[in-house]
Amino acid sequence: MGAYDLLARYYDWLMADVPYRRWIEFIAAYARRQGSICIVDAGCGTGTVALGLRQKGFRVAGLDSSQEMLALARSKAEALGLSLPLFQGNFSALPLKADLVISTCDGLNHLLGNKEVIRFFQGVHRCLSPKGSLIFDINTEYKYRRILGNNIFAWETQGVDVIWRNQYSPPFNFADISLYVHSRGCWSKSVFLIQQRCHSVSTLVYYLEKTGFELKGIWNNYSFKAVSPATQRLTFIAQKKI
C-alpha cells in the first residue's frame, strides 16, 4: 500500500487551506475559451477539483494511482449526485480521449525521473483531441529551498496533530509526515514519507516541445498573474500541436 493510500482518510483535512475554488475557476475559464468539453484529471486524488469542474457542466473523468483516494472521490461524487468516471493507473495511463488534461497540486513533482515526465507528456498527447490542452502545476525551487527547506512544521487541524519534517536535497524533497489522531481516549500515530522532485522550468518546456506541445504560458498559481522570484507554485498551459 502506497503513502497516499494510507494518507487518503486525512488528505482533505490536510489540504483545507488550498485555494481549490480559484484553481477550478481558472481551469474552467480556460476550458470555456478553448471550447473544451471533456476533461481528464490526472492525479485526481479525492476528486475535489474534478467534482468542482463537473458541477460547472464539464464532462470529467479522474485518474489516480491510489485506490483509497479514488474510493473517497467516488463517495463524494455519490453524495453530490454526480457522475464521475474514475480509473486507477499511473500518470501515463490515460484511458480516455479528452479536450483538456489537468494535473493539479504538484502532481508532476511526484514524477521523480525525466523519463517519467516524458512518458506523461506523451500519454497526454495521445489522449488529447486536436488542439487540446494540458494544464499542470509544480512547486518551485523557491518553495523547496526557502519555504520548506530543512525545517520542521507542526500544526493541528480537525483534531489531528501534524508534524512535518522536511529535507530538501536538490533536486529531491523529502517530507516525513507524522499524524497523531485522538479518538475515544487514545492516541494513534501514522507516518508517511513523500518524495518529490524539483523540476526546472527550462527542462519541462524542452520536454513539452519535444513531445508535441506548444507552451501557451506560465502563471502564478492559477491566477493569470505574472510570475515573481517568490512564486511558490507555477501553472503551465500547453497546447497540442497539429
Residue pair 67/88 in contact (Cβ under 8 Å)? The answer is: yes
What is the structure's pLDDT at 1? Answer: 47
Residue numbers of the chain with a pLDDT score lower than 70: 1-6
Question: What is the structure's pLDDT at 224?
Answer: 84
Q: Do the domains at 3-141+199-240 and 143-197 have one common CATH topology?
A: no
CATH no., domain 143-197: 2.20.25.110
Looking at CATH, the fold of the domain delimited by 3-141+199-240 is given as Rossmann fold (3.40.50)
Q: How far is CA 212 from the centre of its chain?
A: 22
Do residues 143 and 233 make contact, with C-beta atoms less than 8 angstroms apart?
A: yes
Helix (H) or strand (E) holding 162: strand 160-169
Comparing CA positions, the residue from 120, 129, 105, 125 lying closest to residue 47 is 105
For 75-144, strand residue ranges (E) read 86-88, 98-103, 128-139
Q: Which residue has the cell 507554485?
A: 233
Residue 35 identity = G
pLDDT of residue 212: 97
Whole-angstrom distance, CA of residue 154 vs CA of residue 8: 19
Q: List Cα–Cα distances, 40 to 64, 76, 84, 127, 161, in angstroms.
A: 11, 17, 10, 9, 34
pLDDT at 194: 94
Q: For position 2, what pLDDT does the model report? A: 55
Residues above pLDDT 70, as percent of the chain: 98
Nearest residue to 216 (alpha-carbon basis) of 240, 242, 199? 240
Distance CA 217, CA 224 (A): 9
The residue extents of the domains of the chain are 3-141+199-240, 143-197
Q: 229 by DSSP, 3-state: which?
A: coil
For residue 201, what is the enclosing H or E element?
helix 201-210
pLDDT tens digits along 107-137 = 999 999 999 999 999 999 999 999 999 999 9
